[in-house]
A and B are shown apart, each in its own frame.
Chain A
């Protein structure tokens, strides 16, 4: 019966929980307050670009990496 169906909001596999957890943590790094405090340093530069731009590029790339990892694992 439908009332007995398990919720889909919580992943049921270890890989699923890992993917969701990693994505959420990384996503929070790309959101306020991190963006508006830790990363908002126009005086700090990495590799010739502002740390804000460089750090978020790394976070975005990591988010894509999590999605690709989940796909490879069949999550």
Chain B
């Protein structure tokens, strides 16, 4: 059987499995909004672990990371720093976010920030940042999916049709089963993508070089420029290393599709072990990616699109069945992030916009159906963004990685009780200054003095937030006591009793 038939068939079998899971999840639904949007706050460790890691690792980790090693060399091993930091952030912030969500019924990040800062303006600003800076990931993931199915089918299914099929499937199981369907499919996707990357990389290492160590030796002999910093194109400077570490850890954790996951845990202990164990999966996935990228630079040099190195090597050297299984894994990597972003945007638009400002006080089932309608609308928007290339979108994609990072001062102000509290005027002013600085340091003058633009923006944001908060009115004592008191009871129960 020809490789493209096997590869395409396996991808469609996988898609069918996700639809079946969506239908089963639908039968378990209670019709309650928390059940639809937050898995009823009942996610245990295994489900939460696999959905978090699968969501964090998108099509980029599967395809783009190999391309990064291929182009920029060993410097991309910096990925280990931000994955370990993600674990620490989850360990420290996760239980705090969970406790406040449980105590106050929060569903979105804006719920938490608006409540603490007593400000609808904060709610609107956070909702806008949440949607604007993540909706573009729908485009990125959908484009990745269209590309995967296009190459898997040997160009027989066009990029446009492939994108449409996969977007429709992701939206369908999300609309059917809500976050439960997303979590259950993420369990499959998380396992599949991890096994696929490792098996594919090891197969290629043995097939092409005789083993991983021989692969390293060949890289040393033929491409020593890939084994030192800052890499062949001078990318991994100290400033870029630091910037990527901060923006790809805090910046991703503060995106709504990650923060909402902390609300869904069954208890705070689950989030602590989640934080401790998350980097095991996240970091070790970059080991086979290094083998693929660096080995690919030796075995298949001069590739026009470096991100294609993994599938190109598979099609050239692996048996069809293995290629199919691995490309289905790549599909899983992209879909697990895509469905989570669709869900997060649906939650924000349903909760922070529709329920808050358009139709409050309606029945729970009404909001569930509105959420489904919003997913359908996002499907249309996502498809449009995926098949069109608009200049302003290129700019927004550049900004998106660091956009959610600008919520950091406001979030830390809620989660860490201090003697001097941040204020609504302070965090709003800081957010605006941060976003303007982000535009300047990423688009107008990219990465001034070699330091990542996201870090410049965060520094200006934090300084302005602290200064303005020092001279403006803080939240009421009652609110501070209610929210910081809850955090105190969660983290230090023995001293707050």
A→B interface (CB under 8 Å): 1-3, 5-9, 12, 23, 27, 30-33, 35-36, 40, 42, 45, 48-50, 52-53, 56-57, 59-60, 63-64, 67-68, 70-71
Contact = CB atoms under 8 A, between A and B. Distances in A.
SS class, residues of chain A in contact with chain B: mixed
Given A27-B85, A64-B87, 14 more contacts: A2-B421, A5-B417, A8-B417, A8-B488, A27-B84, A30-B80, A30-B84, A31-B81, A31-B242, A35-B78, A36-B230, A42-B220, A67-B279, A71-B272
Contacts of A33: 238
B44 to A, nearest CB: 16
Residue from B77, B217, B245, B492 whose CB has the most chain A CB atoms within 10 Å: B77
The bracket for how many chain B residues form the interface is 35 or more
Contacts of A53: 74, 77, 290
A70 to B, nearest CB: 7
Contacts of A30: 80-81, 84
Nearest to B217: A48
B241 A31 contact: yes
SS class, residues of chain B in contact with chain A: helix
B57 to A, nearest CB: 16
28 contacts: A2-B480, A2-B481, A5-B417, A5-B418, A5-B419, A7-B416, A7-B417, A7-B419, A8-B415, A8-B488, A30-B84, A32-B238, A32-B242, A35-B229, A40-B228, A42-B220, A42-B227, A42-B228, A48-B213, A52-B228, A53-B77, A53-B290, A60-B81, A64-B276, A67-B87, A67-B275, A68-B276, A71-B276
Contacts of B245: 31
B491 interface: yes
A5 B74 contact: no
A6 B276 CA distance: 26
